[in-house]
Structure 1
Amino acid sequence: CFEEEDEGGDLDDEVDASQLERFMKDRRRAKSLPAYPAALLDGVSTSNESKRVKFADSMGLNLASVKHFSSLEEPQIPSKVLSRHKSFPPPQQDLINDLCQNFKSSLDTDRLLACFPEPQETERRVQHLRVCLEKVTVTQFDVRGQIRVLTGCTDKEVGVRYTFNDWLSYVDAQALPAAAEQPGYAGERFNFTVYTPPFMDPSLAVHFAIYLKSEEGEFWDNNEGKNYTLRYHCMPSTMPFVSAAFHAT
């Protein structure tokens, strides 16, 4: 019995060796990995389950084709792809730069300018009106002025009444005493500041008048009944901003 089993075992070994030899011949001739029946893989040991990397050339297979590009060659872009690329909107940075430039231009071109001549003959006017506008300057954010007052009263209020909506409403801003008076000037000096809205409609104007309230009564300088007016004027964007409010308008 034992002899028969040994002979049968030898025969099986010869069959397995023959199949393995044909398998290796087919493997060397293959141009790509063949799909072998699963039955040929049953005898492969699976004791080592760790994965290993094998390269195609070490297994007798052909490598993939490799294309070398020259730096002098221009890429061939399909016309459809090129037309779609040209139809894309400009980069986001260009849009931001355009918005910043437009915003800066709008701030530079609309400027408040005085619609009245520079005050003159302050001495005569203060003697006649008791209070008068002596000087005014305009910046990009406010209007500043100097008032001359002729009074000896200690209890008094000096200021400016102004409006941004043609006197539908108004605000009184009290003026503050200025530095010590220079000799030879009549009366006292007061300074005031009116802050203009940052996004004021260019079609609107700033109107104001100067007042003095004391125990002797109320006194006004309203530009001979016409009020003092500042309006927006379109100026060249290249023209530097000048703080003086008096221009030929």
Structure 2
Amino acid sequence: MKELKIYQVDAFSEKIFGGNPAAIVPLTAWLEDGKLQKIAMENNLSETAFYVKEEEQYQIRWFTPKVEVDLCGHATLASAHVLFEHEGFQRDILHFYSHRSGNLNVKKSTIGLTLDFPTDTVERTKISNEMLGCFTHKPIEAYRGKTDLVLVFQNEEDIRQLQFDLEKIKLIDARGVIATAKGEEVDFVSRFFGPQVGVPEDPVTGSAHTTLTPIWAEKLGKNKLTARQLSQRGGALTCELLGERVEITGKAVTYLEGRIFV
């Protein structure tokens, strides 16, 4: 039996009980995949991140309670927070590497932690009857990224009041469905639904903003954008489109530090 450290961090929030909670498990060597998945299932959060230090960078992987995912923004932000605040990392830039998403850097500054992620490839697509059946409000545009479907709605109130059918969303061929609209006090707002991967509604989805940022940068004619995810917990982000990369900035706070025995 192994004894491992575990942290729970609320990402994209300045206070506990806000943003998106992620579990972070630092490792000295990788456990078998089945064990990683069971730990994530036991934690029962939208994502559990594991990392292993290898020379000057950290290998990182993310698991929902059901599957390993290609990219997770909030759990990467939370992992950086753990390294900076609890695990003695001294420099201002962290270098993560994912075998699914490549190089992912995180920079610490006075305004928070900034994720440097690859910009998603986004294409406009036709609104299908399958998409229309997922929500009570009717989307006005649809886009497809590498893993997610994006539905654009008329206004922020549509996103706030959105009623949804998780069984129908499960039938969409995507990691998840992002609902978005132009914001009233921020540039754009969104919600994220991922029952396909065991996450009915994600509180704050950093990776979704690699898809949303190029869409809204084009619509609004600017590359630096403010965003808010309108889940029950809510979360605030600042996004900047830098060609093939997107910078996503937010804050994080530690909720729990403990040990697990596996």
For the aligned pair, the TM-score class normalised by the smaller chain equals under 0.3
User: TM-score, normalized by length of structure 2?
Assistant: 0.23
* Higher RCO (CA 8 Å, separation ≥ 6 residues): 2
Which is greater in Rg?
Answer: 1
TM-score, normalization by structure 1: 0.24
Give the structure with the larger strand fraction: 2
